[in-house]
Amino acid sequence: MTSEELAVYQADPPSSPHADFVVCLECRRKLALIETKHLRKHELIPERYQEKWPGAPMVCEASHDALSAQSKNYWAKLTPEQRTIQAKKRMTPERRRKQSITISKVRAGLTGLTSEELEQWRINAKNAVSTPEHRQAASARATNLWAERNRKLEEAERILEANWRPGDWDQKAQWHVLANKLLSCEYISNPDLKVWAIASGHYTDATFPSWKTIQRIRDWVRRPLGPRGQRHQQTTNGQHLENVSGQFTGQP
């Protein structure tokens, strides 16, 4: 764009629309859309740009139509809950105000600098985030964030595992006492389970279920007797119990 064309555009931007481009009045570049990322190069935000150039278009007609259609399609596919989440992530007036204050402070500190001093300031600012100390601090922050994420995931998994119950839980109320005990322990042997059930008063020696029933309860709540179904031998009161392929020999 020539200087004459730019002067006309700057004098009355709304009267000089173009279907396929808009002109950044700061650098004369022809763009389909003047984004916030581009305005940062001029130390501006959209509100400041529009205050400086009242009525200046930020998007050409073609891009406006395409973006409008794309936005409508995107929001139409979201659920009400997803729309609420996305709306909170959008740039609010309060966030724009804080961003504007930050830029104003930076610009105030750069007032009076020559072009060479301003360029040197930009180089120093860029180098400041490239030092080994900065990279080490950034790496430490990322490591801590990742560790915190993993801790929260592990905690969530523990909560889910502790609250897990079989789908037909309500249909087998007679097994709830032993099933809850199995689920509350990382591992408990059959003899120890029997000792606990009798000591707690839930069962007697005569009413305690058979080992075959205990195995069914273990399979039901996913608490196997031995690791990976291997042969597991136990001794209680001098009596030998053996688990072979899920079948028990010997009775209490």
What is the Cα–Cα distance from 98 to 44, expressed in whole angstroms? Answer: 13
Is residue 207 situated within a structural domain?
yes
* Domain match, 158 and 221 both: no
User: What type of residue is 9?
Assistant: Y
Instruction: Please give the biggest Cα pair distance in the chain.
Output: 106
Burial profile 89-111: b = 16 or more Cβ within 10 angstroms, e = fewer: eeeeeeeeeebeeebeeeeeeee
Supply the range of the domain harboring residue 61.
1-90
Give the Å distances, CA to CA, from 144 to 38, 148, 157.
33, 6, 20
Is residue 218 situated within a structural domain?
yes
Q: Give how many domains the chain has, as a whole number.
A: 3
Is residue 68 situated within a structural domain?
yes
pLDDT tens by residue, the chain, 252 residues? 566 666 666 666 655 556 677 888 888 788 888 888 888 888 888 888 888 888 788 888 777 778 788 888 887 888 888 877 777 667 677 777 777 777 776 766 776 777 787 778 778 777 776 778 878 888 888 899 899 999 988 988 888 887 888 888 888 899 999 999 998 888 899 999 999 999 999 999 999 999 999 999 999 998 887 654 333 334 334 343 433 333 333 333
Q: Which residues is 37 bridged to in the sheet?
A: none
Is residue 119 situated within a structural domain?
no
* Domain match, 58 and 23 both: yes
Is residue 100 situated within a structural domain?
no
Whether residue 3 contacts residue 43, with contact meaning beta carbons closer than 8 Å, is answered with no
* Domain match, 158 and 210 both: no
Of the three residues 110, 142, 163, the one that is the final residue of a domain is 163
